[in-house]
Amino acid sequence: MNPSPANGPLKNIVLLGIGHTNAHLVKQWISEPIAGCRLICISKFPTATYSGMLPGTLGLQFSEQEMRIDLAALAHHAGAELIIADTRGIDLDAGELHFCDRDPIPFDVLSIGVGSMPVGWEQHSHSRLLVPIKPMQTFLQRLESHLSDQAMNPSTDDNTPLRVAVVGGGVASVEIAFCLQQRWQQREREIEIEIFTSSPHVADGMPMRSVRSIEQLLRQRGITVHRGHRVDALTDTALRTDDGQSYGSNGVIWATGAAAPPVLARLGLQTDDRGFIATSKTLQSLSDERIFAVGDSGTVIESPSPKAGVYAVRQCPILWHNVNALLNRGVMQRFEPQRDFLKLLNTGDGKAMLQYGWFTAHARWCWRLKTWIDKRFISEYQFDSDFDGRSKKQTVDDPSEEPLSCR
């Protein structure tokens, strides 16, 4: 613990949610703790899941342990306090974070990084078919349990394939479709996977050359794409699109674009028109300069960027600098999102689709590059726990429980 400064008590730096950007602050704290401050980490889950490795873990390319960060070990190594709790709101006048089942925590600096949820999932939460991709910490267990139950359901014909729909046409949906097919290869019962997107193409945001390659690969794998219509209803046996068509299904993976999680509406901070916290380019809330919103949780109003993990990673050094600057009355840095970045799409077969600028490739070396990047990134946050006094950082070779809730 950092010693208290001579002129006052310790200040509280509180991290609400330990996504990419907030996790980086914890890592920095290990080697550069801020004098006169204590670090408090708040999470609904005891682990964090690295989104870049989720499809590969679904496809049995990695173990679940490889994609997870043990938050207790990370916080212990940083000398930080970890609290597993669900947040009820913020009292800005008192400078306190309030909870459903514990006393408030005062903050001098608060960084919010609670991620996002898929758009529209809550409208269909009554359906037994629905498996939202988030929270990612429980997605694989929920999906495996659901599909196993469906496969063993005596009311279904063992000789017919399981039909699984992936709703959403972004890169994440495509990766989920490819990797789920790979996961199911050794099962006795076959599986048919369909993608439903309201867009005319899958993988929006990628160049058409890459999109055409992805769509051709989907056809080769027998993955059907239904495009140009939204899914507007789910029953317990089928989904319906807005043109009136109905499709029988054994499971619906909801992997649409980002929507604000319910907790953000409870905080009482200014938001954009989608419910994400409105910030300046310094990542500070427009409601209160003591509060930062990072990753998917915040929207820089002057220069909004897509809700993608790469931007959360790019915000890491900005957040670290600006927290220090706020405490020491220094000069703030501004976050300027880059226009383009390297994209690597896992196709589930030991290959990946790489796209950067004009260049596109689909090969094993692309998957090895993606794996090396992902493992190198997450290894920075993974520690073997030894709470008798030591935590040992995990290493990576070169390429080759449910949350608490307010009721």
Full pLDDT tens readout for the chain, 407 residues: 444 444 668 999 999 999 999 999 999 999 999 999 999 999 999 999 999 999 999 999 999 999 999 999 999 999 999 999 999 999 999 999 999 889 999 999 999 999 999 999 989 989 999 999 999 999 999 999 999 988 887 666 667 889 999 999 999 999 999 999 999 987 878 899 999 999 999 998 788 989 999 999 999 999 999 999 999 999 999 999 999 999 999 999 999 999 999 999 999 999 999 999 999 999 999 999 999 999 999 999 998 888 888 899 999 999 999 999 999 999 999 999 887 788 999 999 999 999 988 899 999 999 999 999 999 999 999 987 665 444 344 433 333 333 333 43
Final residue belonging to a domain, choices 223, 239, 257: 257
List the domain range (segments joined by +) for residue 46: 11-117+259-339+372-393
Rounded Cα distance, 14 and 106, in Å: 8
**Structural domain contains residue 4:** no
3-class secondary structure, 277: strand
Q: Which residues pair with 246 in a beta bridge?
A: 240
Rounded Cα distance, 13 and 40, in Å: 6
Rounded Cα distance, 84 and 231, in Å: 35
Are 83 and 207 in a shared domain? no
Say how many CA atoms lie within 13 Å of 376 toward its Cβ.
Answer: 9
Query: Torsion over CA of 213, 218, 224 and 230, rounded to 10 degrees?
Result: -60
User: Phi/psi at 215 (nearest 5 deg)?
Assistant: -65, -35
Are 209 and 221 in a shared domain? yes
First and final CA of the chain: distance in angstroms?
35
Q: What pTM did the predictor assign?
A: 0.88
Are 86 and 195 in a shared domain? no
Q: How far is CA 103 from CA 49, 96, 108, 309, in A?
A: 27, 10, 17, 32
Count structural domains, the chain.
2
Residue type, 159: N
Domain CATH code at residue 159? 3.50.50.60
Final residue belonging to a domain, choices 257, 273, 288: 257
Final residue belonging to a domain, choices 195, 222, 257: 257
User: Phi/psi at 183 (nearest 5 deg)?
Assistant: -60, -35
